[in-house]
Structure 1
Amino acid sequence: MGSRVMHAIVALEVARRRKETDLSTFFAGALAPSAASTLREKEALHFYDRHGGEDTKFISFSSFAKRYMDISRHPELKGYATHLVTDHIWLTHLYHPWLRNQTSKISELTDMYHRDFTRLNQPLLHHFALSESLNDVLKQPILTIFSHIDELQMQLTYQRLEEDLHREDDTQLEVLSWEGMLDYIHVSIEQSIAYLQGL
């Protein structure tokens, strides 16, 4: 899945383009699926479903819509949807067609592309000119708006994202590419907007 910073960029760009008025609530919803302490919680928060096992894992938007009615009227649910769409793009455009096959050949690949996430944080924020906007939203009170998501886990998710903003590494990528990640983020933004417009 995309990094916390990538999810933040998508959420902020979608909120800006849609002129969302309650940015803090929208943003909290966008981070909410990351507030999991176990793999089981992560799968539940991401509405994962499978047809035949791990190789065919996908996000069930129908289950999301069934659980949460009137998504379009709640900024936290619209933010949540951007996270799911962004992860759907990761699964369908990167993981299933490419990364999954590579990880079977190189056992360290997951660690390698997670290090790439760290290397990409600052360049991506600079490219989208969102460092100031992200700092501003992180200064707002942390909203715990989902009863089934632990308040401490939400706080930790915000804390880790804030740490990401100050974590720098060399810029030599091991697995991912700059152009590929820009394309991933742009597609995620457009598809998130399209999903929300269709509600």
Structure 2
Amino acid sequence: MGSRMMHYCITSEINKHIYSSQESRIHLGGLAPDLTHPVHAPKSVTHFVRINSEGKKKTDYELFAQIYSGNFHDSFYVGYLSHLVADHIWYETMYLKLIKSLPEENRQAAIDKGYRDFRRLNKLLLRDYPLSPPTGIPVIDNVMIEGLYPEYLPVITQQLIKDFHIEEPYTPDDLEIYSFDAILEYIRLSIEETLKVLRTKVLIQR
């Protein structure tokens, strides 16, 4: 699914819309579903994956919003929701078209190219989203989400901070599988859908 930097871009924009950029917990929530090291929680659990009658997977972000509707006064849950929304959009617009559609013998090579693109995109995205690494990371000890071990959040936060240290002067032409314009559109759609869910399902009026 999307990279740490992409999720950080998404939560940073949502932070502007809802909290005037004054929240820090939202960013940790935006990273939390991918917290699989050192605790290997099943992604199907942390990402609220459901399989429909046709056998198709879906990250059920609306179910998350329903279950935790009373917790969205905490921006951590807003960030967590944004991650689930973004992963659903990534699966539909990127994975199914660029990876899943390939012959099975070619998929791993495409996945490897995608991970190389993630590293290049870390640098490229900072041109459109002039962000700084997170600082003043709060302790998250009052969140109860199935499969989540919040005490390990500093691990993935440090990984995000390292993502900022890319010195190579990459350009969009260096990307192997993803289009930079498509990535920007994916981020835009993820922000838009998250805000829509917050307004219609959770009733955050901002």
Same fold (TM > 0.5): yes
User: Is the Cα contact below 8 Å between 2:60 and 2:84 reproduced in 1?
Assistant: no
What's the CA shift for 1:152? 5.1
Query: Partner of 2:5 in structure 1?
Result: 5
Name the residue aligned to 1:51: 52
1:23 is paired with a residue whose SS is coil
Q: Which of structure 1's runs of 4+ aligned residues deviate more than 4 A?
A: none
Contact 1:15 1:26 in 2 (8 A): yes
- Quote how far apart the aligned CAs of 1:69 are: 3.3
Q: Which amino acid aligns with 1:99?
A: I
> How big is the shift at 1:99?
2.3
- What do you get for the CA RMSD once the two structures are aligned? 2.3
Indicate the SS of the match to 1:58.
strand
Equivalent residue number for residue 174 of structure 1:
176
Using the size of structure 1 for normalisation, the TM-score is 0.85
Distance 2:51 2:41 in 1: 14
Q: Percent identity at matched positions?
A: 28
Is 2:79 aligned against 1:79? yes
Structure 1 regions of 5+ residues with no counterpart? none
Structure 2 length normalisation: TM-score? 0.83
Alignment of 1:103-182 (within 5 A): 104-106=104-106, 107-130=108-131, 132=132, 135=133, 138-144=134-140, 145-147=142-144, 148-151=147-150, 153-169=152-168, 170-171=170-171, 172-182=174-184
Q: How many residues align?
A: 193
1:8-87 superposed matches below 5 A: 8-19=8-19, 23-37=23-37, 40-51=41-52, 56-87=56-87
Q: Which residue of 1 aligns with 2:194?
A: 192
Shift in Å, 1:159: 0.8
Aligned partners of 1:152 and 1:69: how far apart in 2? 23
1:52 positional shift = 6.0
Q: Distance in 1 between matches of 2:195 and 2:160?
A: 23
Change (3 A) 1:32 1:20: farther
The one-letter amino acid paired with 2:63 is: S
* Pairwise CA distance, 1:66: 4.4
Q: CA deviation at 1:97?
A: 3.5
Pairwise CA distance, 1:173: 0.8
Q: Does the 8 Å CA contact 2:25/2:138 hold for their aligned counterparts?
A: no
SS at match of 1:167: coil
Question: What CA distance in whole angstroms lies between the structure 2 residues aligned with 1:75 and 1:24?
Answer: 8
Deviation at 1:197, TM superposition (A): 1.2
Q: Deviations over 1:114-137 (max 9, x none)?
A: 11010011110121222x3xx2xx
CA distance in structure 2 between the partners assigned to 1:46 and 1:184 by the alignment: 18
Moved more, 83-92 or 166-175: 166-175
Which 5+ residue runs of structure 2 have no aligned equivalent? none
1:81-133 Cα offsets, whole Å, 9 max, x none, are 11111111101222224421126251311111011010011110121222x3x
